[in-house]
């Protein structure tokens, strides 16, 4: 039937429905749109992920801000800790003199008479810390002088003292001098002289120094 | 070119395409009879009528009445369109075409039989343009101020072909108020359907009568009686030569009888196609063939058995139903 009394506008619209060229064009348009679905899904997913990332970033930023404000309150404490940490080389480069003297006392055999013990720090190195310039000794020189009877039971008693003391001192310690002076024609005592050098920055457990508690991680 | 593409992208009927329009344009038809206060519809597939709805005027999504007004225009849009309901009920495809047969008010319709020669036109196209632009020039004392839409059919009232008459051959010119037609187009658009045609009821009846009644070897006078009056037509054999609009059937036959001699008709047979029999039968001339349920089977060749809303098939032999069924096959 012919389209009686239908307006040209409606007829023009209806051409879109029935003309093969328009239907084919519409099919191409729809196919193109369908082909975009994976891309759209990807875009939506990306936007979702970006949104999540931004949300996470803002959360981290607020956390960082909060931590920074908290840390501001801890700044004086940090400063004190920094000073303590700066003092660490000074504290480490110490020889427990009491322990050394105690060990000498323990190890000295009855045949020996210790006349003089001299302990000197040497090998100074400068160390710049906040509070000033310090000189830190790298090693300790221990000098022991005394007498050994000429007719002692053990003629090498002084040497045994040196060896025993060396074992008690930290590793890398060494005997710098070990001699005995005087002969049978002289006095009934012979003078011995021991010189040991020990590093300051080492463990002195051999001297009987024991750890009282776990080291503070600070 | 750019405008064409943008217009296409803006206007393209996506729902129609997605409902199968890409692959097939073979669609069922919903043929509506639009009366003054009643609306009926025939649902038809490729082989003709399938279902019939005899009272759609109460539906909230019903099409406008013949005056272009709708009782339910102000109500909220229903969740499902009337076309959707009908296609679902009769198991038809979702894409549908609408055909409107309108029993319009007398002032909203116009009929005239004339020739291109007397209209001083060379072709149907030029005659239509002239009628659209200047109906006073074509019809002399054209009284209407409202815009009309116009159409021309050939003297055989063949609705399916473009009329290519000789300039001295009669043609039927008919018109319907633009407002009335636009209301149906607008309603169809809301339904997502296309529109096949909008036909005045008398034109549809005369076309059906000329192709169905046994008038091949006889002259005939046919009166189509509707709720809005009666339209009489004179056929010489199967060629329409005269048409008139009257108030009643008897007026129409009286008018045709007076013109019979002038029209040089040879003992014409009288037919009455009536929507309802509006007058007492005694006022109708004798020797008249009334097309009704009793003889429609003999005229159309078969009885119509159509499904109704309740699902059962019911015999439908009222002339209007046969008319709608004939129209959807044209």
How buried is A167 (Cβ within 10 angstroms: 0-12 exposed, 13-18 middle, 19+ buried)?
exposed
User: Could you tell me if residue B112 is inside a domain?
Assistant: no
Note whether A3 contacts B181, CB cutoff 8 Å. no
Taking only the tens place, the pLDDT of each residue in A110-126 is: 888 999 999 999 989 88
For residue A98, what are the CA distances in angstroms to A71, A80, A157, B62, B317? Answer: 42, 30, 23, 114, 133
> Residue B160's pLDDT is what?
86
> Residue B283's pLDDT is what?
60
User: How many domains does chain B divide into?
Assistant: 1
> Residue B21's pLDDT is what?
81
* CA distance linking residue B291 with residue B276, whole number of Å: 11
Note whether A4 contacts B9, CB cutoff 8 Å. no
Give the nearest partner residue to B12 out of A2, A6, A26, using CB atoms: A26
User: Could you tell me if residue B257 is inside a domain?
Assistant: yes
Which residues of chain A neighbour B11 with C-beta distances below 8 Å? 13, 16
Spell out the domain ranges in chain A: 96-207
B198 touches chain A (CB under 8 A): yes
CB pairs under 8 A between A and B: 76
- Which ipTM score applies to this complex? 0.89
pTM of the model: 0.68
Name the class of domain A96-207: alpha beta
> Residue B316's pLDDT is what?
87
Both structure tokens of B257? 């009888």
Taking only the tens place, the pLDDT of each residue in B82-125 is: 999 999 899 888 889 999 999 999 889 999 999 999 888 889 99
User: Could you tell me if residue B160 is inside a domain?
Assistant: no
User: Could you tell me if residue B247 is inside a domain?
Assistant: yes
* CA distance linking residue B159 with residue B208, whole number of Å: 10
Number of helices (H), then strands (E), belonging to chain B: the values are 11, 15
Which residues of chain B neighbour A27 with C-beta distances below 8 Å? 17, 22
CATH number for position B231: 3.30.420.40
Nearest-Cα distance to chain B for A27, in Å, is 7
Is the pLDDT at B66 greater than 70? The verdict is yes
Burial of B131-147, coded b for 16+ CB within 10 Å and e otherwise, reads beeebeebbeeeeeeee
User: Which of the two residues, A150 and B38, has the higher pLDDT score?
Assistant: B38
Q: Which of A61-65, B164-168, B281-285 has the lowest mean pLDDT?
A: B281-285
Q: Which residue in A2, A3, A5, A18 has the most chain B C-beta atoms within 10 A of its own C-beta, making it the best mutation to test that interface?
A: A5
Give the chain B residue whose CA is nearest to the CA of A4: B197
Question: What is the pLDDT tens value at each position of chain A, 218 positions in all?
Answer: 899 999 999 998 888 888 888 889 889 988 999 999 999 999 999 999 999 999 999 999 999 999 999 999 999 998 888 888 888 877 777 778 888 899 999 999 888 899 999 999 998 988 887 778 888 888 899 999 999 887 767 888 889 999 999 998 888 899 999 988 876 665 678 899 999 999 887 777 777 776 666 555 55
> Residue B75's pLDDT is what?
56
> Residue A190's pLDDT is what?
86
In this structure, the number of other CB atoms found within 10 A of the CB of residue A35 comes to 9
User: Which of the two residues, B69 and B125, has the higher pLDDT score?
Assistant: B125
Number of helices (H), then strands (E), belonging to chain A: the values are 6, 4
Is the pLDDT at B74 greater than 60? The verdict is no
């Amino acid at each position: 039937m012919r389209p009686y009394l239908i307006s040209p506008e409606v007829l023009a619209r209806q051409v879109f429905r029935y003309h093969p060229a328009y239907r084919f064009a519409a099919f191409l348009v729809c196919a193109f749109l369908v082909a975009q679905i994976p891309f759209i899904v990807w875009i939506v997913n990306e936007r979702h992920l970006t949104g999540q990332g931004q949300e996470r970033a803002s959360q981290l930023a607020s956390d960082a801000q909060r931590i920074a404000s908290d840390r501001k309150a801890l700044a004086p404490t940090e400063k004190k800790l920094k000073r303590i940490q700066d003092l660490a080389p000074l504290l480490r480069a110490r020889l427990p003199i009491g322990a050394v003297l105690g060990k000498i006392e323990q190890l000295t055999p009855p045949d020996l008479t210790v006349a003089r013990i001299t302990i000197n720090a040497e090998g100074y190195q400068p160390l710049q810390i906040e509070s000033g310039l310090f000189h830190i000794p790298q090693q300790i020189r221990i000098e022991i002088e005394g007498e050994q009877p000429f007719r002692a039971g053990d003629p090498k008693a002084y040497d045994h003292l040196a060896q025993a003391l060396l074992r008690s001192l930290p590793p890398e310690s060494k005997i710098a001098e070990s001699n005995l002076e005087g002969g049978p024609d002289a006095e009934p005592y012979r003078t011995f002289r021991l010189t040991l050098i020990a590093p300051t920055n080492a463990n002195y457990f051999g001297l009987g120094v024991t750890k009282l508690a776990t080291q503070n991680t600070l | 070119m750019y405008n064409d593409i943008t217009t296409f992208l803006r206007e393209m009927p996506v729902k129609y395409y997605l409902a199968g329009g890409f692959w097939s344009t073979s669609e069922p038809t919903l043929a509506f009879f639009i009366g003054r206060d009643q609306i009926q519809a025939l649902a038809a597939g490729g082989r003709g009528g399938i279902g019939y709805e005899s009272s759609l005027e109460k539906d909230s999504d019903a099409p406008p009445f013949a005056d272009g007004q709708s009782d339910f225009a102000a109500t909220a849009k229903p969740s499902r369109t009337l076309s959707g309901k009908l296609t679902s009920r009769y198991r038809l495809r979702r894409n549908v075409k609408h055909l409107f047969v309108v029993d319009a008010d007398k002032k909203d319709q116009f009929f005239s039989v004339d020739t291109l020669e007397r209209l001083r036109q060379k072709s149907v196209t030029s005659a239509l343009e002239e009628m659209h632009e200047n109906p006073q020039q074509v019809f002399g004392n054209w009284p209407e101020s409202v815009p009309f839409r116009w159409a021309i059919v050939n003297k055989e009232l063949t609705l399916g072909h473009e009329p290519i008459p000789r300039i001295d051959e009669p043609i039927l010119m008919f018109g319907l108020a633009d407002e009335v037609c636009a209301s149906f187009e607008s309603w169809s658009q809301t339904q997502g359907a296309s529109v096949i045609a909008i036909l005045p009821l008398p034109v549809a009846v005369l076309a059906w009568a000329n192709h169905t009644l046994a008038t091949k070897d006889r002259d005939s006078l046919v009166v189509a009686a509707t709720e809005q009056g009666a339209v009489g037509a004179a056929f010489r054999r199967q060629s329409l030569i005269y048409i008139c609009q009257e108030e009643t059937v008897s007026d129409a036959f009286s008018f045709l009888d007076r013109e019979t001699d002038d029209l040089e008709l040879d003992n014409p047979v009288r037919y009455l196609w009536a929507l309802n029999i509006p007058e007492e039968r005694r006022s109708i001339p004798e020797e008249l063939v009334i097309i009704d349920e009793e003889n429609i089977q003999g005229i159309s060749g078969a009885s119509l058995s159509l499904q109704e809303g309740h699902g059962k098939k019911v015999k439908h032999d009222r002339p209007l139903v046969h008319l709608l069924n004939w129209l959807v096959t044209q």
